[in-house]
Amino acid sequence: MTTSARSGWRIFPLVALNILVTGGRAVRWGAGRPADLKDVDGVIIGGGDDISADVYAGEVVTSARIDPERDALERALIAGAAARGMPLLGICRGAQMLNVATGGTLDRDAYRTYTRSKRVYTILPRKTVRICEGSRLERIAGAAPMRVNALHSQAVDRLGEGLRVAARDLGGMVQGVERVADPFALGVQWHPEHLWYARRQRAIFRALVTAARAYAAGRGQVAEVEREMRAARRP
Give the Cα separation of 115 and 173 in Å (integer). 9
Assess whether 138 carries a catalytic annotation: no
Backbone angles phi, psi at 172, to 5 degrees: 100, -5
Average pLDDT, the chain: 90
pLDDT at 212 over 60: yes
pTM score of the predicted model:
0.90
Assess whether 132 carries a catalytic annotation: no
For a pLDDT cut of 90, what percent of the chain falls above it? 74
pLDDT tens sequence across 59-105: 555 445 667 888 889 999 999 999 999 999 999 999 999 999 999 99
Please identify which of the residues 193, 194, 224, 228 carries the catalytic annotation.
193
Going by pLDDT thresholds of 50, 70 and 90, the confidence category of residue 50 is confident
CB 70 within 8 A of CB 77: no
Give the Cα separation of 34 and 36 in Å (integer). 6
pLDDT given for residue 219 in this prediction: 77
More confident of the two residues 213 and 67: 213
**Which range, 3-7, 44-48, 107-111, 126-130, has the best average confidence (pLDDT)?**
126-130
Is 3.40.710.10 the CATH classification of the domain at 8-233?
Answer: no
pLDDT given for residue 200 in this prediction: 97
Least trusted range by pLDDT, from 10-19, 30-39, 163-172: 30-39
Please identify which of the residues 74, 92, 132, 138 carries the catalytic annotation.
92
DSSP per-residue codes, 112-153: HH-TTS----EEEEEEEEEEPTT-HHHHHH-SS-EEEEE--S
Going by pLDDT thresholds of 50, 70 and 90, the confidence category of residue 204 is very high
Residue 191 gets the label, from left (phi > 0), alpha (psi -120 to 50) or beta, of: beta
pLDDT tens sequence across 137-172: 999 999 999 999 999 999 999 999 999 999 999 999
> What does the domain layout of the chain look like in residue ranges?
8-233
Assess whether 152 carries a catalytic annotation: no
Give the Cα separation of 35 and 39 in Å (integer). 8
Polymer length of the chain: 235
Please identify which of the residues 132, 152, 178, 191 carries the catalytic annotation.
191
**Helix (H), strand (E) at residue 163:** strand 163-169
pLDDT given for residue 63 in this prediction: 44
